[in-house]
Structure 1
Amino acid sequence: MNRRFAVCGISNRAMSMFIQPLLTDFAATNQVVSLLDSDLHRVDLCLEKFPELVDVQSYKDDQFDQMINETKPDVIIVVSRDDTHIDYILKALANDIDVITEKPMVTTSEDAVKVLEAEKSSKGTVTVAFNYRYSPFHRKIKEMVLEGKIGRVTSVDLNWYIDTYHGASYFKRWNRNRDLSGGLSIHKSTHHFDLVNWWVDQYPEEVFAYGALNYYGPNGELNPDPTTDNRHCGTCQVQNGCDYYMRWNPRTLQSSVKDDHLKMGEDNDKQYTGYRPDACIFDSEIEIEDTYTATVKYNKGALLSYSINFSLPFEGYRLAINGTKGRIETQEWHAPSRVPFEVPEQTIDYYPLFGSREVIHVVQTPGGHGGGDPILLNDIFLGVDPRRDYEILAGAKAGAYSIAVGEAVWKSAKENHPVSIKELLKIKQKI
């Protein structure tokens, strides 16, 4: 029996991550029955890319109830802008329909609580597509912790690095507005907080953090013209004086521009109507942070030391997990094609408390997000792999805790005091 899917938000991610696999790898038991977006131009682009959907019904964002009544989906896939997730999730749960949502589940702890409460009274369930859990390296680390290789987890050091190409992209697009994305401690860092929560299998209780806007916004030190606002990369008169622009768009290579965001800005007919993803990274409306350091305390004693920076020469992370019996270390280099030097192969180093180092080479899998996307999709569309003896597919509770830590980070940075996760999620007992 086929499951019937409605897709809310026809973003590029929706088409590549969900719609295409549903039409190919998982078509035998799954069917796309409806498409919904605030901009029907996006639906037209989807039909242009997937002509086999020509008979699928499409709807505007204010026609959700009509879509449910007419197409009767079993599952809603939410891949719209972050701030719109909450409406689709609550409406789906009110109709006892399952939800699959991209991260972040929602953009505020208040909305996370609403989802948790709605799920309790619904026959539907919420799945959050935390694909980072599914990376072969991340699964191996989880398995090592579960095997007791390092004993009881005592502390985690996680430093995340975003390069000037990827980092700047968030400040060219809607992500730079906190009302739309929750800020980058939610839009981006919830991936990382969920990973740590999952690895240590403990609940975050309290957060203290610092944050700053160091690189982007009107006071960015590399702003080539602080007197001018509301520029766009593709038409900017001072683009040749902007180091961020010139790093990815050298004058001698204008026929093969490397910056995909600039390409999208020049190709407006492939975007949302009236939207450009190449707004100036130095605009005055930017007020979210681009740099964070944070400490998170967990309910069973673990401590997380976390940092993220959105304007660095390379991309990746360094991780160490310490326990009463040893230590796990790894370093990953994302996007090596954007790094002007050779990068080493990623391995996992295991240090027993009393003994010599063991270097572990992990069998890798192809696909997006370090090979995590295809395995996640198998669990979503075929059912959780029965051979795996630990929980990996994330639900609403995991989504809520990741949101709460992300919100606590920027609130603590703004207000200069520790923030309680229990207070954000209104927890009187363990959820």
Structure 2
Amino acid sequence: MKRIVICGISNRAMGMFIEPVLTSYYEHNQIVGLLDVDNRRMSLCKEKYPSLMDIPCFNENQFKQMIQETQANTVIVTSRDDTHVNYILQALENDLNVITEKPMVTTAADAKTVMEAEQRSLGNVTVAFNYRYNAYHRRIKEIIMDGKVGRVTSVDLNWYIDTYHGASYFKRWNRVREHSGGLSVHKSTHHFDLVNWWIDQLPEQVFAYGALNYFGKDGELNPSPKNNRFCGTCQEQLDCQYYMRWSNRTNNVRIKDDHIQSTTNSLTKPDYTNYRPDACIFDHEIEIEDTYVATVKYDKGSFLSYSINFSLPYEGYRLAINGTKGRIETMEFHEPSRVPFPIPEQTIDYYPLFGSKEVIHVVKGEGTHGGGDPLLQEDLFLGVDPTRSYDILAGTKAGAYSIALGEGVWRSSKTNLPIRINELLNIKNDQTHTFQT
């Protein structure tokens, strides 16, 4: 029986972990404690899930007490990104297993610390990279494993974030690098992990450019140079194209935030203590980048050409994987309901080096993130699917290399120099095999 404590009562914690444990996996999993910096979050969680009403609650300084009182053996970490490392290390010190939301931590240095702590512990860390479980992403992995593209030589991945989702990162804590690691860590680690996993290679070196093009005080669509505005009370709503694209004069602004319980029409009276998800996207404190391009060299010879942009008319990605025997292409529109024009259904196109194109239609599962979340939940709470022929759950090594690559992108964009990934992780090349995948 997993005796689970939850560190960080975010919306993601409730929807991805708490609810499925209570409704689908309760026979072998039990939530025995809640921890958060805000008592109000824990109260709201109990209101939403009355079966947790008698579960003890703890503040961020009571981790050790929580473990002693609850006799927990599993810690789920869903707090703000920069706090992950503290809970993970404390759990490993107590020989507990950890399930953490991505990114595992926010710096390569912290990632190395977690890997070393895991080696000393009886516990282990699982990083919840749900994108691996998307039906299309699993099929791409299988095509590569089947040898249809041969030895992978290069990958082109261009990621697009629309004006609704993209702006959300600049309305809240993500816009502070100390809290999120910047978007090359908070968001791009999703994508870097996918590529690392698809091609089964480790990134060696990265060169990148980055810029703040859309948001912050110099954003070209900023209605005025004013600071410290909030969408819910702003007097310039009608002059803000980002606001008006997703709102109108009679409805309050729509918000997207994985760290609040629900979108609310009362942004001036937020449910959580000292937390608002509608800070102005043009505030002067914003200095993280909203645009990146990067080139990555891998340890087995592959190259990655990557870009991401956080203010585009639609959301999705374009992918091409080239190899010595063929090529894979696909394009996905993430949020069809937000795309203002007709879009085709996603397929995977396979082009053998010599021969005819093959169009692959993928069987999609139910659930969020392309049906990936329910499959990840099954592996986390029932045990790994014994019928799957390849590894898919991510551990500390996968988490660390995705983070180090994200940090390398940012550092390269600031220094105009190539960055060696193992130097960020303080790992010698012959040590990479010693850490868990």
What range describes the TM-score normalised by the shorter chain of this pair?
A: over 0.9
Q: Is the 8 A contact 1:158 1:304 kept in 2?
A: yes
Could you tell me which amino acid in structure 2 is paired with residue 277 of structure 1?
P
Matches within 5 A, 1:74-223: 74-223=73-222
- Which SS does the other structure have where 2:332 is aligned? strand
For residues 82 and 265 of structure 2, what CA distance do their matches in structure 1 show?
23
In the alignment, which residue of structure 2 is the partner of 1:319?
A: 319
> Does the C-alpha gap of structure 1 residues 259 and 105 become closer, same or farther in structure 2, counting only changes over 3 Å?
closer
For residues 203 and 51 of structure 2, what CA distance do their matches in structure 1 show?
45
TM-score, normalising length: structure 1: 0.97
In the alignment, which residue of structure 2 is the partner of 1:27?
A: 26
**Where do 4+ consecutive residues of structure 1 move more than 6 Å?**
none
* C-alpha deviation, 1:70, in angstroms: 0.5
Could you tell me which amino acid in structure 2 is paired with residue 430 of structure 1?
Q
* C-alpha deviation, 1:430, in angstroms: 3.4
- Which SS does the other structure have where 1:172 is aligned? coil
- Which SS does the other structure have where 2:369 is aligned? helix
Q: Is the 8 A contact 2:165 2:256 kept in 1?
A: no
In the alignment, which residue of structure 2 is the partner of 1:248?
A: 246
* C-alpha deviation, 1:264, in angstroms: 3.7
Q: Is the 8 A contact 2:152 2:322 kept in 1?
A: yes
Q: Is the 8 A contact 2:206 2:296 kept in 1?
A: yes
- Which SS does the other structure have where 2:103 is aligned? coil
Could you tell me which amino acid in structure 1 is paired with residue 348 of structure 2?
I
Q: Is the 8 A contact 1:210 1:292 kept in 2?
A: yes
* C-alpha deviation, 1:263, in angstroms: 4.8
CA deviation vs aligned residue, 1:294-323 (integer Å, no higher than 9, x gap): 001000000000000000000000000000
For residues 235 and 343 of structure 2, what CA distance do their matches in structure 1 show?
36
For residues 265 and 281 of structure 1, what CA distance do their matches in structure 2 show?
19
* C-alpha deviation, 1:3, in angstroms: 1.2
- Which SS does the other structure have where 2:222 is aligned? coil
For residues 55 and 140 of structure 2, what CA distance do their matches in structure 1 show?
42
Could you tell me which amino acid in structure 1 is paired with residue 431 of structure 2?
K
CA deviation vs aligned residue, 1:250-306 (integer Å, no higher than 9, x gap): 22xx24754456954724665430111000000000000000000010000000000
In the alignment, which residue of structure 2 is the partner of 1:380?
A: 380
For residues 340 and 16 of structure 1, what CA distance do their matches in structure 2 show?
28
Could you tell me which amino acid in structure 2 is paired with residue 235 of structure 1?
T
- Which SS does the other structure have where 1:62 is aligned? coil
Greater per-residue helix proportion = 1
> Does the C-alpha gap of structure 1 residues 270 and 231 become closer, same or farther in structure 2, counting only changes over 3 Å?
closer
Matches within 5 A, 1:322-337: 322-337=322-337
Q: Is the 8 A contact 2:267 2:276 kept in 1?
A: no
- The root-mean-square deviation of aligned C-alpha atoms, in Å, is 1.2
For residues 190 and 153 of structure 2, what CA distance do their matches in structure 1 show?
21
* C-alpha deviation, 1:110, in angstroms: 0.4
Percent sequence identity over aligned pairs = 68
* C-alpha deviation, 1:61, in angstroms: 0.6
TM-score, normalising length: structure 2: 0.96
Aligned residues: 427
Q: Is the 8 A contact 2:163 2:313 kept in 1?
A: yes
> Does the C-alpha gap of structure 1 residues 54 and 375 become closer, same or farther in structure 2, counting only changes over 3 Å?
same
In the alignment, which residue of structure 2 is the partner of 1:430?
A: 431
For residues 274 and 258 of structure 1, what CA distance do their matches in structure 2 show?
20
In the alignment, which residue of structure 2 is the partner of 1:57?
A: 56
- Which SS does the other structure have where 2:300 is aligned? coil
Matches within 5 A, 1:343-358: 343-358=343-358
> Does the C-alpha gap of structure 1 residues 195 and 124 become closer, same or farther in structure 2, counting only changes over 3 Å?
same
